[in-house]
Amino acid sequence: MDISELHQILLNKYGDVGWWPGDSDEEILIGAILTQNTSWSNVEKAINMLKMNGMLSLSAIAKSGPGRIAPLIRSSGYYNQKGMRLFSISKEILEKYGSLSKMRLAGLEEAENFLMSLKGIGRETCDSILNYALDFPVFVVDKYTLRIFSRTGLGDLNIDEAKDLVYGSIGKDTETLKNLHGMIVFLAKDYCKTKPDCGNCPVNVKCLYFLKSNRDQ
């Protein structure tokens, strides 16, 4: 199987999954920071708390102190650290650009360098913000992507190799890349878990892991 075939199987199964969920670019950025080391259901609770308290924006977070944010995002875990990070990241973005739309105008390279210079933003969070909040053509590679690429036989790749594989075959359309990552997240949660449910997986007849385990039985 090649990446185009995987993409087509996922489209047939899931279609447009609408990932990343969020009513605004700022909500998506905040969610990308909150989701570090926790499940999305915990993030949703934290986002709802921020929303109910009028704190779901960079300006509201930057105006308040981290002490006000932390109790609201308790469900996302590491809430003191995440509260501090949300506060400092919001402040730095607003001080440098004034808004996410102005940050977008600075271009992909500058936005990427800036985000990667901020404490609390690593490769995956940076790519999530670039793709989903800032609409740049960047494919997000997470542990699910690497696991599925490895098991299906696309290769034991590092992050850059996985990106190149996708760009070389699927291209660099921003919306396509958003949906592909979303569908991979869905496949990993529905079937390709730590203990995979290969019998019901839509990819199985093309998947090296499944074919090998059937052959070995």
Binding site for ligand SF4 (CB under 6 A): 148, 151-152, 191-192, 196-198, 201, 203-204, 207, 209-210
Q: Give whichever of 43 and 207 is closer to ligand SF4, judged by the CB atom.
A: 207
Residue type, 203: V
Q: Give whichever of 13 and 123 is closer to ligand SF4, judged by the CB atom.
A: 13
Least distance to ligand SF4, CB of residue 69, Å? 38
Instruction: Spell 4-23 as b/e; 16+ CB within 10 A means b.
Output: eebbebbeebbeebebbebe
Residue 132 CB neighbours (<10 A): 25
Cα distances (Å, whole numbers) of residue 206 to 1, 165, 195: 6, 18, 18
What distance lies between CA 186 and its chain's CA centroid? 12
Least distance to ligand SF4, CB of residue 208, Å? 8
Query: What is the C-alpha R_g of the chain?
Result: 18
Least distance to ligand SF4, CB of residue 135, Å? 29
Q: Give whichever of 19 and 191 is closer to ligand SF4, judged by the CB atom.
A: 191
Q: Give whichever of 41 and 194 is closer to ligand SF4, judged by the CB atom.
A: 194
Least distance to ligand SF4, CB of residue 207, Å? 3
